[in-house]
Amino acid sequence: MRRREFIRLFGSTAVAWPLSARAQQPDRIVRIGFLTPQSPNPPWIEAFRAGMREHGYVEGRNLVIALRSAEGQKERYTSLIGELLAFKPDVLMTWSTPTSVALKKATDTIPIVSISGDPVGLGLAASLAHPQGNLTGFAILSPDVEAKQLQILKDTIPGLARVAVLTNSTNAVNPPIVKSIRRNASSVGLAIQELEVQDAGELAKVFDAAAAERSGAVLILRDDLFDLERRQIAALALKAMIPTLAGWNEYVHAGCLMAYGVNFSDLFRRASAYIDKILTGTAPGDLPISQPEKFEFVVNLKTAKAIGLEVPPSLLSRADEVIE
């Protein structure tokens, strides 16, 4: 059930792009190439479609979306991007740091709207305020989120002293996040155990390691591999009787205990506004890269009961969704 939502109005200034050929025409068919790193039908795609409809773009009338899914296999990026480029899209859309990097390497001319970790640090944009290239969108730079996640774990788990962090260092966005977590953990008296996983076959081993080190919780970082294996992660955590917290609500629906992080449906809806600006004449390099404005907290009480944990009522009252 939904408890609360904080919605802020999105606004940005835009500078007209002189390439009038990109301006939307009433009888024009708009072509969007959409690369998703894992699920062929991510739950947020409907929010994206709804946003496009709000701006007058309707599939079957004046909009065609070519969606390609790597299904968690990074080695497929090259061939899938080749298919999207052959589609001759007006705009490319993606989410995740690895797919954003791959698209930017593939083209410096077709506009890209991406949701990624740190586009400036990764060399995808000159700056957040003035990207200057063909990529714009959203940067999930959220050190406050890691601090909030650790505090939620402390508030939920009595006597919590050590938190295990599930990470994949081959995802360029994760090592800086681990450093941020370590800094925040030391300030609140928590020790950190790093669980490095690059293959699904390693998941059982690292949960055994977390139990052996007496980590009181597992904090799950974002990675395509973890997204695909979220049900296995939830099952391993349940077997080990270890509370879990992720940054995205689909983990909680898969059986993990809690999630606190960015509301991706909101980002995908906002992405449609960026695409509309590009289609009506604004250069992507002139559209400032924004950051998330909406966050959500989700709790799975079924999982809490299964591991014998009582979630404090004060915490439940702050949840946006509670699964009972």
Map out the domains of the chain with their CATH numbers.
20-140+264-293 (3.40.50.2300), 143-261+296-323 (3.40.50.2300)
Kindly report, residue by residue over 68-123, the tens digit of the pLDDT: 999 878 899 999 999 999 999 999 999 988 999 999 999 999 999 999 988 998 89
The rounded mean pLDDT for the chain is: 89
Closest CA to 143 of 258, 316, 292, 318: 292
> DSSP per residue over 265-314, as a string?
HHHHHHHHHHHHHHHTTB-GGGSPPB----EEEEEEHHHHHHTT----HH
Classify residue 194 by burial, with Cβ atoms within 10 Å: 0-12, 13-18, 19+.
middle
The strand order across the sheet containing 135-139 reads 63-69, 30-36, 91-95, 112-116, 135-139
Local confidence band at 40 (pLDDT 50, 70, 90 cut-offs): low
Classify residue 310 by burial, with Cβ atoms within 10 Å: 0-12, 13-18, 19+.
exposed
Closest CA to 156 of 204, 190, 193, 203: 190
Extract the tokens encoding 105. Answer: 């390497």
Segment among 35-39, 153-157, 187-191, 214-218 with least mean pLDDT: 35-39
| Contact of 57 with 63, CB cutoff 8 Å | yes
DSSP letter for 221, please: P
Kindly report, residue by residue over 211-235, the tens digit of the pLDDT: 999 999 999 998 888 988 999 999 9
Rounded to an integer, what distance in angstroms lies between the CA atom of residue 193 and that of residue 213? 8
Segment among 148-152, 174-178, 210-214, 272-276 with least mean pLDDT: 174-178
